Copies of this chain bind each other. A is one copy, B any other.
Amino acid sequence: MRVGVLGATGYTALELLKILVRHPDVEVTGLTTRQEHTPHVSEVHPSLTGRLDLKCEDLRTAELAERAELVFCAVPHGAAMAAVPELLEAGCKVIDLSADYRLSDPAVYESWYGLVHTDPTRLGTTVYGLPELFADDIPGKDLIANPGCYTSTSILGLAPLLAEGLIEPTGIIIDAKSGVSGAGRTPKMTTLYPECNESISAYAVGRHRHTPEIEQVLSKVSGKSVEVLFTPHLVPMDRGILATMYATPTEQRSDDDLLEAMRNYYRGKPFVRVVDRLPATKDVSGTNFCDVTVRQCRGKVLVLSVTDNLIKGASGVAVQNLNLLAGFDETAGLL
């Protein structure tokens, strides 16, 4: 399958390309950038030297659509919804890594992103591409909304317990910690090395845009209105997310019961590992795995979940979605 990447210069694009060049069923045939001098991909991503011989071009959408059967959209929100309709109309399939098609309600999108959605009819009908929950909806679809990194990490920890009614849907606290690559590759003072290194802090308290996404998906899973307090933190490391989550149990259960519920929920799912140990982000670094565990403490259910924010949190799950959409092996290119 010929695939293209719209917006090939960021960190998620790099990880995506690293996976795609090893994927047995895929050929990368088009890369775009807004940089006018059409840099070779190895100039933008030195680590791809000798592994992918392609230029990043300032292509119009139609040009990209000619080159590729499927396009990974790795441009920021706002830019994605400007390009996706054209790509779809040109006959491309699209996996959108931005937030533009994740929320089902245009009003919610507008209130959190401060933008009027320009393609509102596709909201609500687009599949949310978290395969561990919605794998059956993915095959054959034209457009997949790839989940956010904090979102996947949080949801994969909480979904089994909410689905089984083992925790209350409200009063959930998600204390999440992320490496700096999640903030993107655009120069900002806040993500300069000497600002982030040797420091940890919370940010965007009460207003991080992954909040409504987490609530929307978990509400769907539980059949109840889920409400979370989501506190993201920036941690001095390149990659990885740890979500430490606190919920109220609905009934008295042993830790083993809760772990068993998790294991049952993820039976046959190749990329979620339910573990007994306290997971570290390093355990999943560079992989498409999500490691989760659960235990109880002082009357609360404590759920821990780790991913590599660029892989399972972005580009790995995008390829997993590609695999399911196109009928390839779910793990192709990912193990």
Contact = CB atoms under 8 A, between A and B. Distances in A.
A199 B240 contact: yes
A200 B283 contact: no
A12 B52 CA distance: 28
Contacts of A39: none
A3 interface: no
Contacts of A287: 47
Contacts of A202: 242, 244, 278, 304
Given A173-B173, A175-B244, A192-B192, A201 B50 contact: no
A154 to B, nearest CB: 14
A187 B189 contact: yes
Which of A22, A192, A281 has its CB near the most chain B CB atoms (within 10 A)? A192
Report the copy number of this chain in the oligomer.
4
A273 interface: yes
Contacts of A238: 193-194, 197-198
Which of A185, A198, A273 has its CB near the most chain B CB atoms (within 10 A)? A198
Interface string A266-283: 000000010101111111
Interface string A183-217: 00111110111111111111101100000000000
Contacts of A278: 201-203, 205
Given A239-B198, A285-B198, A205 B49 contact: no
Given A198-B198, A283-B47, A205 B236 contact: no
Contacts of A51: 335
A219 interface: no
Interface of A: 11, 22, 46-47, 49-51, 171, 173, 175, 177, 179-181, 185-189, 191-203, 205-206, 227-229, 231, 233, 235-240, 242, 244, 246, 273, 275, 277-287, 289, 291, 295, 297-300, 302, 304, 306, 335
